[in-house]
Amino acid sequence: MKAEAAWRAGATGSGVTVAVVDSGVSRDQADLIGRISAASTDVVPGRNAPYVADSSHGTRVSGVIASNFNGQGTIGVAYESTILSIRTDISDCEEKNTDVCFSSSDLVRALDYAVANGVKIINMSLGGDDRLGSAFEAALLRAVNSGAVIVASSGNDGEANPGWPARYAVDPRFAGAVIAVGSHNASNAMSSFSNRAGVAAAGYISAPGEAIVTGCDTTSCWRVSGTSFSAPHVAGALALLMDAFPNLTGRQALSLLIETARDAGDAGTDVVYGRGLLDLARAFQPAGTTSVPLADGATLVAATEPGSFVGSAFGDAFARQTALETVLFDGYDRMFAVQLGGAYPTAPSRSYQAAPFEPSRTATTSLSLPRGGRLSLTAAQLDEPVEAVT
């Protein structure tokens, strides 16, 4: 997922809280010391046990997001973020061989608690085969209307479509605020257990979910697999974006991850990988139309077509000088420092051999000027042969 690109930009998740709706968290987990919010809670009526005695599903999910950068164990995607653990699991599971399950009514309480605490990223590493009912959908609508986004695991049944709540990603009521997350391995191949994008392809991306190291104490770690552990990679990525670019809303940050996902499988959006693989290196580059603001409030949009060069006499002067350094805004109003001269490399040495085909002889730079004007600069190569001088 190339998280190091975000870390090099200074993003750590500091100041961002991620709600983990799960089975609680261990207060003794070494890698999470200082990362768990004091507002963490248990929403199951009458239990009042937000912390669990030993390492659990919720602890390991939280570790993927926020494990400390402390010289041991592993490191979380957003290693200085805060986890609001909302314990929601129940023990009377209907399915065999299932240790952790959830009731719709408790999930309603969990979403409302996250909203009440102002959380904008909610991780739900859980799912099932059926819709979660009108009460849950009403709570989900309250959450997205508050500005929160929901990251949901696609499921581990190897099916063609995600389970629920991940499939709400393409429900018109929630589209743009819910994302379904599948799992791929270290070779970027879809995990055999992962539910594919299917009908939710437009709101689905894939993240690392095999052999994930988490739940570390001072002597050992857990190595785990499942879409439960791919979803928190996306939640952590959102925390990094919202730390680095505080102007972003949750929906904008989620849109960025979808827009910049690295294509996989069939070209474009497909029924296996959906929009593609989570890629933070691309998410931390300018996206959409870039522009430079002018003193009068208008903007200047520059576009350079391939083939634009400066003369060889300039050497690398354009790329090295500072006169063309400026700040541009991308399509999400994020600011980036840029060196515009770097767009104009030195012209390649001319070959005097006969060309096997007619090369391109022009290069164009265009400037979209304020109030609708446009300036185009076109450089053309001479058609006449040039004699070598000795």
Mean pLDDT of 38-63: 92
For residue 139, give the nearest of 114, 102, 171 by alpha carbon. 114
- Strand, coil or helix: 25: strand
Give the tens place of pLDDT for each residue, 279-298: 999 999 999 888 877 777 77
Mean pLDDT of 12-39: 95
For residue 12, give the nearest of 101, 86, 78 by alpha carbon. 78
Local confidence band at 157 (pLDDT 50, 70, 90 cut-offs): very high
Mean pLDDT of 117-130: 96
| Cβ burial 169-193 (10 Å sphere, 16+ → b, else e) | bbbeebebbbbbbbbbbeeeebbeb
Tokens of 211: 């052999």
Indicate whether 234 pLDDT > 90.
Answer: yes
CATH 1.10.3720.10 for the 3-283 domain, yes or no: no
**Which residues, in sequence order, are CB contacts of 108 under 8 Å at separation 6+?**
135, 136, 138, 139
Strands 299-304 and 292-293: antiparallel
Local confidence band at 96 (pLDDT 50, 70, 90 cut-offs): low
Rounded CA-CA distance 245/13 in Å is: 11
C-beta separation of 164 from 199 below 8 A: no
The Cα-based distances of 274 to 157, 240, 378 in angstroms read 17, 22, 40
Say what the pTM is.
0.83
Residue for token digits 């859980």? 126
The Cα-based distances of 381 to 126, 309, 350, 359 in angstroms read 61, 11, 11, 10
For residue 329, give the nearest of 296, 302, 292, 283 by alpha carbon. 292
- Percent of residues, the chain, with pLDDT higher than 70: 80
What helix, strand, coil percent values describe the chain, rounded to 5? Answer: 25, 25, 50
Rounded CA-CA distance 293/324 in Å is: 14
Residues of the chain with CATH 3.40.50.200: 3-283
